[in-house]
């Protein structure tokens, strides 16, 4: 009290700073924040989700703002700290947010035609002499983001199961994205790399081939802050499951068919793989 | 084609605008094309340079997706036909677009460098179609703008031309037309433009000048009409006949007196040649046109009247000139001098008789001397004498007889009354003969006669009449002198004329008498000693011969009478025409 009386201005500034640090509470803000990881350039990401956000705004009557996190880690942190109300997550981010921060709830998963985005392949150049993952000993390998399940954890898991732990590779590196994995293999920077099947399909006309896979992965999903009002969460889930507008769905992915029910058990495999890889 | 000022002006303005639009448009388009291509090149260089840098960073991080994304985004620019990023080994890292079949490409390359070594290359192919399109659109826009501005300019210019040129011109033209129709009270007011205002002022001044000139002309015409009326009244009421001929001798005017004298009416005379009408040598004798413009005064000649009678007339003639001084005809006045002629002949005869009377006394003395000699020698014929003396006496008698006979013959010749019979005569011999005739009388008074005969020319005249004139002049000189003195008689040639002069050192002619001395019946002699006809007859004879006579004071005292007669060559041209040589 003496301090407050002696330094009143400083006291007010400290209170304001503290309020800023604490940040917004679990109460519903006037605007919902939809966070996503940077799986593509910001413009492409914005183009991907803007129709969906518009759809949800119409359905809920609430303003929704898209927030593109600068990295996988930042995305995990933002959502885990409750700074986002909605989020698009892959298997790895979901597991991390869920296991590390909690406070999130699965709303719906993306279902692709032939579940193409839920499959991972290991690719190499078409002219490469390899026939199996085991032959990659002493070779180089490209991973995507270290936090990516499809381009890191699962390919690394498959290499390990094939007897080629990363320690037996001549070299490996993280090239941030699935596309970079494909392209760096294509341009000869690496002998092989792991990517989602749908990404590989984009470069089907390039001189590449699948060395191994496809391997099934947990789906991508839409989650929300668990502290959102129940009726809002229900409304969001129902809206997603009811979405049949092809223009909105194809913007997210040309192969996307619809949103479906999803449960935490769908991510059990991912949780085990990540745990094993990170234990090493 | 309408050649009005407006059409000419706008036709040229249109041509100028079209030419300007074409030149301006082409220059603008060409300049814009250069600028656009330059911009495109700079843009390509910037893109290539940036893409090379990005590529290098991305490749170092194996971030080929970023390279492809950049390439994809860049190629979204429609002006880039193709964009390729490739390594030095030829590996294409990113490529979009096709150049096959594309035309008018602008190729730009930029190396991707790693520490001074070439890692790869960024190559862009720009389409210049947009430049072409912009150039085309710019050209169209320029042409459209020029056309629009030209149309606006034409509208404004038409309005300005109408108010500044056409309307003032129309006003000026109306005023000129009205002026041309005779309304001289024209005044126009043009305020602007100043050039037409000046023209308006000049027009007003010109109209005022024309008005004043017309007023002057009207007044002059009235004066002229008055003068013409006056002249016509004079001409028609003058006693002498008057007619005017043109240069070919055709009569163009004929007055009342001419009608009265000749019997021809003006209607009959006008349009006829003078020679045809009068059937005489009048025109040739007395028309100034035939005498090198010489003014002719009272030259006697003849004409044939309408009744066919020959009439002696005195004609005066002068050339008629126009305002430029060119000869346009001749004016002839004539009067009937038939009565005067007869009267003069009577006077002449009377004077000759008087002269003969005067001569008679001298002759009596002249003849008395030889008669005395004859008588004296005749008395000695019957006396014996040597043969030689006898023969000498007979010879003297014969000689003295011949002398008397000569004196008588000369008197008879002088006294003979006859019509003029012109012939070529030598004035020197004529002068010498007359001097011999009067020498006796001169000697009686102690007067010496000096002859100075210089002229070797000939004259055409009646020798008796000319001799009569010289005799009169010499006798007058002798009579004028109260005592001894001198008479100088001489001839001389001056140009085409022959001068006969008789001078004395007597008392001379008083100035108050000099103008009357040739008048008939004028005499300074005592009553009974002179008739006053001598000099008048002389003047008539000389005038008839185409000459003139004059008197003046002699330096040192006395008087000089000078007769001027045309020389033989000149006189020949004035001979009466032969019957076949008619015409003017």
Q: ω before A214 within 30° of 0 (cis)?
A: yes
Q: Which of B64, B91, B92 to mutate: most A Cβ within 10 Å?
A: B64
In this structure, are residues B274 and B251 in contact, taking their beta carbons and an 8 Å threshold? yes
Q: How confident is the model at residue A49 (pLDDT cuts 50, 70, 90)?
A: very high
Asked if the model's pLDDT at residue B477 lies above 60, the reply is yes
CA distance A12 to chain B (A): 47
Residues with Cβ < 8 Å from B312, sequence gap 6 or more?
B300, B301, B302, B336, B337, B338, B341
In this structure, are residues B87 and B43 in contact, taking their beta carbons and an 8 Å threshold? no
Contact between chains at B62 and A186 (C-beta distance less than 8 A): no
Average pLDDT over residues B155-162: 82
CA distance A40 to chain B (A): 9
Distance (Å) of CA B228 to CA B225, B234, B323, B497: 5, 10, 16, 40
Q: Residue A141: its pLDDT value, please?
A: 96
In this structure, are residues B353 and B537 in contact, taking their beta carbons and an 8 Å threshold? no
Helices within B61-100 (DSSP H only): 64-75
By DSSP bridging, strand A31-36 and strand A63-68 are: parallel
What one-character DSSP code corresponds to residue B567?
A: B
For B148-198, the DSSP string reads HHHHHHHHHHHHHHIIIIIHHHHHHHHHHHHHHTT---------SSHHHHH
Q: Name the residue with higher pLDDT: B204 or B569.
A: B204
Contact between chains at B65 and A142 (C-beta distance less than 8 A): no
Residues of A contacting chain B (CB within 8 angstroms)? 40-41, 44, 142, 173, 175-177, 179-180, 183-184, 186-190
In this structure, are residues A182 and A199 in contact, taking their beta carbons and an 8 Å threshold? yes
Candidate from A40, A44, A173 with C-beta closest to B62: A173
Q: Which residues in B lie closer than 8 A to residue A41 (C-beta atoms)?
A: 66, 69
User: Which CATH number describes the domain made up of A27-113+220-265?
Assistant: 3.40.190.10
Q: Which of B56, B62, B88 to mutate: most A Cβ within 10 Å?
A: B62
Window from B67-81, B131-145, B350-364 with minimum mean pLDDT: B350-364
Q: Residue B49: its pLDDT value, please?
A: 87
Query: Across chain A, what does the average pLDDT equal?
Result: 86
Separation CA B177–CA B188 (nearest Å) = 13
In tens, the pLDDT along A85-95 reads 999 998 989 99
In tens, the pLDDT along B258-301 reads 998 899 999 999 998 888 888 776 777 667 666 666 677 877 78
Average pLDDT over residues B453-472: 85
Q: Which residues in A lie closer than 8 A to residue B87 (C-beta atoms)?
A: 187
Q: Residue B568: its pLDDT value, please?
A: 78
Q: Residue B235: its pLDDT value, please?
A: 84
- pTM for the model stands at 0.47
Helices within chain A (DSSP H only): 2-6, 8-22, 42-60, 72-80, 91-96, 154-161, 178-186, 197-202, 230-242, 246-252, 268-279
Asked if the model's pLDDT at residue B583 lies above 50, the reply is no
Query: Across chain B, what does the average pLDDT equal?
Result: 81
What residues does CATH 3.40.190.10 cover in chain A? 27-113+220-265, 116-216
Contact between chains at A175 and B61 (C-beta distance less than 8 A): yes
Q: Which residues in A lie closer than 8 A to residue B91 (C-beta atoms)?
A: 187-188
Q: Which residues in B lie closer than 8 A to residue A142 (C-beta atoms)?
A: 62
The CA-CA-CA angle for residues A79, A83, A89, to 5°, reads 20
Phi, psi of A258 (to 5 degrees): -175, 170
Take residue B407 and report the two structure tokens written for it: 């004196």
Q: Sign of torsion, CA B96 B100 B103 B107?
A: positive
Separation CA B269–CA A84 (nearest Å) = 143
Instruction: Nearest chain B residue to A188 by CA: give it.
Output: B91
Asked if the model's pLDDT at residue A269 lies above 70, the reply is yes
Asked if the model's pLDDT at residue B574 lies above 50, the reply is no
Query: For a pLDDT cut of 70, what percent of chain B falls above it?
Result: 86
Q: Name the residue with higher pLDDT: A17 or A180.
A: A180
Answer CATH for A116-216 from 3.30.1330.60, 3.40.228.10, 3.30.70.360, 3.40.190.10 = 3.40.190.10
Domains parsed from chain B with CATH numbers: 5-136 (3.30.450.20), 238-336 (3.30.450.20), 342-573 (3.30.565.10)
In tens, the pLDDT along A153-202 reads 999 999 999 999 999 999 999 988 888 899 999 999 999 999 988 889 88
Phi, psi of B578 (to 5 degrees): -75, 160
For A138-186, the DSSP string reads TSEEEE--TT-IIIIIHHHHHHHHTT--GGGSSEEEE-SSHHHHHHHHH
Instruction: Nearest chain A residue to B86 by CA: give it.
Output: A187
Asked if the model's pLDDT at residue B78 lies above 70, the reply is no
Contact between chains at A187 and B65 (C-beta distance less than 8 A): no
Instruction: Nearest chain A residue to B63 by CA: give it.
Output: A180
Residues of B contacting chain A (CB within 8 angstroms)? 61-69, 87, 91, 93
Phi, psi of B47 (to 5 degrees): -60, -45
Residue of B241, B270, B283, B276 whose CA lies nearest to B258: B241
Q: Report the 10 Å Cβ neighbour count for A124.
A: 25
Candidate from A41, A44, A180 with C-beta closest to B62: A180
In this structure, are residues B134 and B32 in contact, taking their beta carbons and an 8 Å threshold? yes
């Amino acid at each position: 009290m003496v301090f407050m009386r002696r330094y009143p201005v400083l006291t007010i500034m400290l209170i304001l700073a503290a309020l800023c640090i604490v940040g917004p509470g679990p109460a519903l803000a006037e605007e919902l924040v939809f966070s996503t990881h940077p799986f593509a350039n910001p413009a492409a990401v914005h183009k991907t989700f803007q129709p969906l956000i518009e759809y949800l705004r119409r359905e809920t009557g609430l303003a929704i703002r898209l927030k593109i996190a600068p990295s996988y880690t930042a995305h995990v942190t933002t959502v885990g700290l409750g700074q986002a109300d909605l989020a698009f997550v892959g298997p790895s981010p979901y597991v991390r947010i869920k296991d590390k921060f909690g406070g999130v709830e699965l709303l719906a998963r993306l279902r692709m035609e032939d579940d193409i985005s839920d499959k991972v392949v290991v690719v190499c150049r078409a002219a490469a002499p390899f026939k199996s993952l085991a032959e990659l000993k002493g070779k180089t390998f490209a991973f995507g983001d270290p936090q990516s399940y499809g381009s890191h954890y699962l390919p690394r898991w498959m290499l390990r199961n094939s007897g080629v732990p990363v320690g037996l590779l001549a070299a490996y590196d993280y090239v941030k994205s699935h596309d970079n994995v494909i392209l760096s293999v294509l341009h000869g920077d690496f002998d092989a790399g792991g990517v989602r099947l749908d990404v590989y399909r984009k470069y089907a006309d390039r001189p590449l081939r699948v060395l191994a896979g496809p391997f099934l992965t947990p789906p991508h999903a839409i989650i929300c802050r668990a502290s959102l009002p129940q009726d809002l969460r229900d409304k969001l889930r129902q809206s997603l499951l009811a979405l049949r507008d092809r223009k909105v769905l194809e913007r997210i992915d040309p192969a996307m068919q619809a949103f479906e029910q999803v449960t935490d058990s769908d991510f059990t495999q991912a949780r085990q793989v990540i745990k094993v890889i990170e234990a090493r | 084609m309408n050649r009005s000022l407006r059409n000419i002006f706008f036709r040229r303005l249109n041509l100028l605008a079209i030419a300007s639009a074409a030149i301006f448009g082409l220059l603008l388009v060409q300049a814009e094309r250069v600028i656009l291509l330059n911009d495109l090149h700079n843009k390509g260089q910037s893109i290539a340079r940036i893409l090379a840098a990005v590529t290098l960073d991305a490749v170092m991080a194996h971030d080929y997706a970023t390279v492809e994304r950049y390439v994809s985004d860049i190629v979204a620019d429609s002006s880039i036909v193709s964009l390729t990023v490739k390594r030095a080994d030829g590996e294409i890292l990113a490529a979009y677009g096709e150049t096959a079949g594309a035309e008018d490409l602008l190729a730009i390359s930029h190396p991707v460098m790693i520490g001074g070594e070439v890692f790869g290359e960024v190559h862009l192919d720009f389409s210049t179609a947009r430049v072409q399109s912009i150039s085309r659109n710019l050209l169209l826009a320029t042409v459209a703008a020029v056309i629009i501005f030209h149309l606006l300019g034409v509208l404004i210019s038409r309005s300005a031309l109408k108010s500044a040129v056409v309307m003032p011109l129309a006003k000026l033209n109306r005023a000129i037309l009205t002026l041309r129709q005779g309304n001289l009270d024209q005044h126009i007011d043009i305020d602007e433009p100043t050039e037409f205002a000046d023209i308006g002022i000049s027009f007003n001044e010109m109209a005022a000048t024309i008005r004043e000139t017309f007023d002057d002309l009207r007044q002059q015409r009235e004066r002229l009409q008055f003068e013409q009326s006056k002249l016509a009244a004079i001409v028609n009421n003058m006693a002498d006949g008057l007619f005017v001929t043109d240069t070919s001798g055709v009569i163009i005017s004929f007055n009342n007196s001419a009608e009265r004298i000749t019997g021809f009416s003006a209607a009959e005379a006008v349009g006829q040649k003078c020679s045809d009408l009068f059937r005489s040598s009048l025109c040739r004798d007395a028309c100034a046109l035939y005498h090198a413009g010489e003014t002719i005064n009272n030259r006697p000649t003849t004409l044939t009247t309408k009744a066919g009678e020959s009439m002696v007339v005195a004609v005066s003639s002068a050339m008629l000139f126009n305002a430029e001084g060119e000869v346009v005809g001749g004016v002839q006045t004539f009067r009937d001098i038939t009565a005067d002629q007869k009267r003069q002949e009577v006077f002449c005869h009377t004077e000759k008789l008087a002269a003969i009377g005067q001569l008679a006394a001298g002759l009596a003395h002249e003849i008395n001397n030889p008669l005395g000699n004859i008588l004296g020698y005749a008395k000695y014929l019957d006396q014996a004498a040597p043969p030689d003396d006898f023969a000498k006496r007979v010879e003297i008698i014969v000689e003295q007889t011949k002398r008397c006979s000569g004196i008588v013959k000369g008197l008879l010749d002088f006294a003979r009354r006859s019509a003029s019979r012109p012939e070529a005569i030598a004035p020197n011999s004529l002068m010498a003969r007359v001097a011999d005739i009067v020498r006796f009388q001169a000697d009686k008074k102690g007067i010496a006669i000096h002859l100075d005969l210089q002229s070797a020319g000939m004259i055409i005249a009646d020798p008796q009449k000319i001799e009569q004139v010289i005799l009169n002049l010499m006798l007058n000189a002798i009579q004028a002198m109260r005592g001894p003195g001198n008479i100088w008689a001489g001839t001389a040639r001056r140009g085409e004329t022959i001068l006969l002069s008789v001078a004395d050192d007597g008392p001379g002619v008083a100035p108050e008498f000099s103008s009357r001395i040739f008048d008939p019946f004028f005499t300074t002699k005592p009553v009974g000693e002179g008739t006053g006809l001598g000099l008048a007859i002389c003047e008539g004879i000389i005038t008839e011969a185409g000459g003139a006579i004059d008197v003046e004071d002699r330096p040192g005292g006395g008087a000089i009478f000078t007769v001027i007669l045309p020389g033989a060559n000149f006189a020949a041209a004035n001979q009466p025409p032969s019957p076949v040589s008619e015409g003017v």
